[in-house]
Amino acid sequence: MTTGTPLCDLVVQLCDEILSRRAVSEPLFAEAQEVVARLTTCHRLRIAVGGRQQDGKTTLVNALLRARLATGDGTEGARVVTRYFPSHTDQVTVRLLDGSSHEIRPGPRGGLPLSLEWPADKIKYVDVGFPGTTPCDGMLIDTPGLDRPDGSRKISLDACADADALLFVVNFEGQIDSEALRWLRRAAPFGLVGEVGAIGVVTGIQNLESRPETNPWPSARLRASVCRRQLGDLLLRVVPVLDLLAQTSLGADFTESDARALANLAAFGDRKAVLAALYDHDEFLTWESGPLDRATRHRLLDMLGIYGIHLCLDRVGAMASAHTVRQELRAASGIDELIREMESALLPQSDLLRASSALNRLLTAASQRENENGGMDEMWVFEAARRIENSPDFGRVRLLRALRELHDGRFHLKQADAEALRALVEGMTPAECLGEPRGTRGGALSAAAERETIRWRTLENTMVPPIRTYARIAWTICQTFIEGRPT
């Protein structure tokens, strides 16, 4: 049984070996069965969205789904892990802790209904299929808040640790939950969450400025830079997003009727009165002398917020269509930068991330040996996993991050060393990986591998942590190209 991807195939082969042995613990045997099913039946990258309550996780999820399918705080859906994926039709399946599954009726617009029909503490997770798309064609996993007091914190952390990749949401005014990220590292000690598969997202940036009409992006990028410095060892990149505008611009809720309401507001004769009403939410909602009724004002606030309304009045004018407004909102939201980041950073590493999270599950199970008949020695599983991680394909994909950090100025290499790193990552043959012509073989190939091994061993002795880490991976790869060594 194969997955069609080289690294996941290696993990499946390890699972087959586990399943063929009799003297393995029940948890490891069961985990191997689940991993095989996970890797061979679903090829989607599992991307979890984690963070604190009310930090914009659900709004961000809806934006990435291009539809309001996820339900926010105060609903039953906010207390459970929900997995969204493209499907031919709307479908909702509640999967319980007892192993049973139950299909229920989707919400009126698809997605989660208000009632899940079972208590949250009985639910393992909820699967939601919908006729749409997701970034990286992945499975997007919405999690409860990491700071919930009702036991959902562990559920959230476990879901994030079990995912292949992570979007970690930080509200601009919220505490940066570095403790939770480090807990994820401990919860997934054998995986790569935070090493190559975690992206930070700063939300709520429309509230950064004291004046609601002020462009928040300069402050937002500064805030993202601060987060990047504080969590640089845990997050691959930090991207700011106007989550509310992103949700509205990519969804279908904003209509021509809403565009006409904005046009009426823009055409209102007393500009000072409009600006005074747009001071904050309460002022706008209680502004009875303007051109919009209360229900319309409430709807615009729900979709745009105060900053979004200011933005529309300034940019689109009085004759804009709903399509034009959504285009302006999308451009202003920053969501495209996040999607590009996901597709450039996560998609090329999909095989690595899926294989790594699967290995994490196997090794976690192997480390929890049952003490029956004096215990079971499962160290061979760790040795087999180490061989997989030392394979050239595994190491080369991990070095993709090194190329990104080098490009971003996170560390510096001499030009010759930078070119050697790029060749090692992008080469199509062992010879090209070593900077040699494609046809190089035998002793010449071994000599080139020895030369590059020396290069990277020398760089490993530097005092710069990223270079030391990446150099160790690089020389390990180079050694596999030496003639006569097992690959």
pLDDT of residue 375: 44
Cβ-proximal residues to 217 (8 Å cutoff; 6+ apart), any chain: 205, 240, 334
Residue 220: pLDDT over 80? yes
Question: Once rounded to an integer, what is the mean pLDDT over residues 317-341?
Answer: 90
Q: Report which of 428, 427, 431, 422 is spatially closest to residue 400, judged by C-alpha positions.
A: 422
Q: Is the separation of the CB atoms in 110 and 67 below 8 Å? A: yes
pLDDT classification of 487: cutoffs 50, 70, 90: very low
* For the chain, percent of residues with pLDDT exceeding 70: 90
397 versus 62: the higher-pLDDT residue is 62
What is the H or E stretch that residue 200 is in?
strand 198-203
pLDDT of residue 77: 84
Residue in the structure block whose two tokens are 């998609």:
347
If one counts every other C-beta atom within 10 angstroms of the C-beta of residue 463, the result is 6
DSSP assignment letter at 106: P
* C-alpha–C-alpha distance, residues 384 and 375, integer Å: 20
Q: What integer pLDDT is reported at residue 149 of this predicted model?
A: 66
Q: Which of 56-60, 98-102, 158-162 has the lowest mean pLDDT?
A: 158-162
Grade residue 180 by pLDDT with cuts at 50, 70 and 90. low
pLDDT above 90 coverage of the chain, percent = 50
Report whether 421 contacts 411 (CB < 8 A). Answer: no
d(CA 174, CA 286): 29
pLDDT band at 293 (very low <50, low <70, confident <90, very high): very high
In the chain, count H helices and then E strands: 20, 9
Residue with the bigger pLDDT between 393 and 385: it is 385
Alpha-carbon span 446 to 473, nearest angstrom: 18
Whole-angstrom CA distances from 184 to 146, 179, 188, 280, 294 are 11, 9, 6, 38, 45
User: For 75-131, what is each residue's pLDDT tens digit?
Assistant: 788 889 999 999 999 999 999 999 999 999 999 888 899 889 999 889 999 999 999
Among 87-91, 125-129, 152-156, 457-461, the minimum mean pLDDT is found in 152-156
CA-to-CA distance for 471 and 311, rounded, in angstroms?
A: 48
Q: What is the mean pLDDT of the chain?
A: 86
- Quick one: pLDDT at residue 299? 97
With a cut of 90, say whether residue 229 has pLDDT above it: no
Judge whether residue 451 has pLDDT over 70: yes
Threshold 0.75, pTM exceeds? yes
| H helix or E strand, kind and range, residue 14 | helix 6-20
pLDDT category of residue 182 using cuts at 50, 70 and 90: low
pLDDT in tens, 14-56: 999 999 987 788 889 999 999 999 999 988 999 999 888 888 8
Name the more confident of 265 and 232.
265
Query: Each residue of 379-392: pLDDT tens digit?
Result: 889 889 888 877 88
